[in-house]
Amino acid sequence: MRYLLLIPIAVVFAFPFYWMVVTSLNEPNQLYQFPPVLWPHWAWSNYIEAWNEVPWPRFYLNTIVVAGATTLLVLATSALAGYAFAAMSFAGKSLIFGFVVAIYMVPNEVTLVPNYITLTHLQWLDSYQAQIVPFGASVFGIFLFRQFFMTLPRDLWDAAQLDGCTHLRYLWTVALPLARPVIVTVALFHFVLGWNAFLWPLIVTSTDRYRPLQVALAGFNITDNHQPMLLAAGALMTTLPILVLFLFAQRQLVGGIAATGIRG
């Protein structure tokens, strides 16, 4: 009974992805037909044509650099801050933590104009750092690391301290290796976020040298509006890495996202 509902729903949700594949593998004479042709005709040449139209390798490199560096930066800043909030004592700790959580309320859109002005002054427009540094700290990351580090037994730290271990060394050699699930969740979440980023890179990049895949694809959409098979090929090329990542790490990704919701 449930399947009678679930199977059509799943098909509806998955169909646009199938359609991406079909469209990318058909010739124009199959595409400009009504009703549409529902299966691919294996026109692989579309991919070669789409690939040669714009410098895709450059865009891939840009996206990987930006998403990768942002992820590493977020991991570093979040692990340090999360550890401080969980395991260190200093004046105003809970006040500062409340403040950090409140920051979650500020939508990115509100800070677009001021941040653009800041980057202009730093002369960072059209660069990698313009796409990385503003997203280098994550309230979500700090929160997850803090929650995890709070579960570590106090004795572990006391014992390490007796052996002359510093906080930084303890964090690096004991706490972080134990925090692997959190690292994976935060890393996946921010890598996907970086890969999919659109509005901010659209504003701060102006040349192919630093433009990421998503902005390039949107530009491709405007210039190549009349060749759906090339667009679909481009769309699939930018989607495939994330789709593969998602299928392999579904549990962690979904779990991480659910974690944000459990205690809203």
Distance CA 69, CA 127 (A): 13
Give residues 37-96 in contact with another protein (rule: CB under 8 A). 76-78, 80-81, 83-85, 88-91, 93, 96
In the complex, what is the shortest distance from the CB of residue 139 to another protein, in angstroms, rounded to a whole number?
7
217 contacts another protein (rule: CB under 8 A): yes
- CB 179, CB 149: distance < 8 Å: yes
What are the tokens at 211? Answer: 């433009």
Closest CB to another protein among residues 159, 168: 168
Instruction: Give the binding range for another protein (CB under 8 A) out of 5-13, 41-49, 51-59, 151-159.
Output: 5-13
**Shortest separation between residue 151's beta carbon and another protein, angstroms:** 18
Q: Where are the alpha helices (DSSP H) in 136-227?
A: 139-150, 154-162, 167-170, 176-178, 180-196, 199-204, 213-223
* Interacting residue with another protein among 10, 48, 101, 159 (CB under 8 A): 10
Task: Enumerate residues 173-202 that contact another protein by CB under 8 A.
Answer: 192, 195-196, 198-199
Give the amino acid at 175: A
Q: Cβ 185 to another protein, closest distance in Å?
A: 13
Tokens of 139: 């309230």
To the nearest whole angstrom, how small is the minimum distance from the Cβ of residue 94 to another protein?
12
Tell me the torsion sign for CA atoms 214, 220, 226, 228. negative
Residue closer to another protein, measured from CB, 151 or 262: 262
Number of residues that bind another protein (CB under 8 A): 95
Positions in 12-31 near another protein (CB under 8 A) = 13-17, 19-20, 23, 31
Residues 109-138 that bind another protein (CB under 8 A): 109-118, 120, 133-137
Closest CB 58 distance from another protein, rounded Å: 17
Residue 230 CA to residue 45 CA, distance in Å, equals 10
H-state helical runs in the chain: 2-24, 28-31, 45-53, 56-87, 93-103, 112-122, 129-132, 139-150, 154-162, 167-170, 176-178, 180-196, 199-204, 213-223, 228-248, 250-262
Positive or negative, the CA dihedral 98, 100, 106, 107 is: negative
Selection from 160, 190, 209 nearest residue 256 by Cα: 190
User: Which lies closer to another protein via its Cβ, residue 111 or residue 173?
Assistant: 111
**Contact range with another protein by CB under 8 A, out of 44-52, 154-162, 178-186, 236-244:** 236-244
Q: Which of 69, 183, 186, 232 binds another protein (CB under 8 A)?
A: 232
Reported residue count of the chain is: 264
Q: Residues 54, 65, 178, 242: which binds another protein (CB under 8 A)? A: 242
List 52, 123, 151, 225, residue binding another protein (CB under 8 A): 225
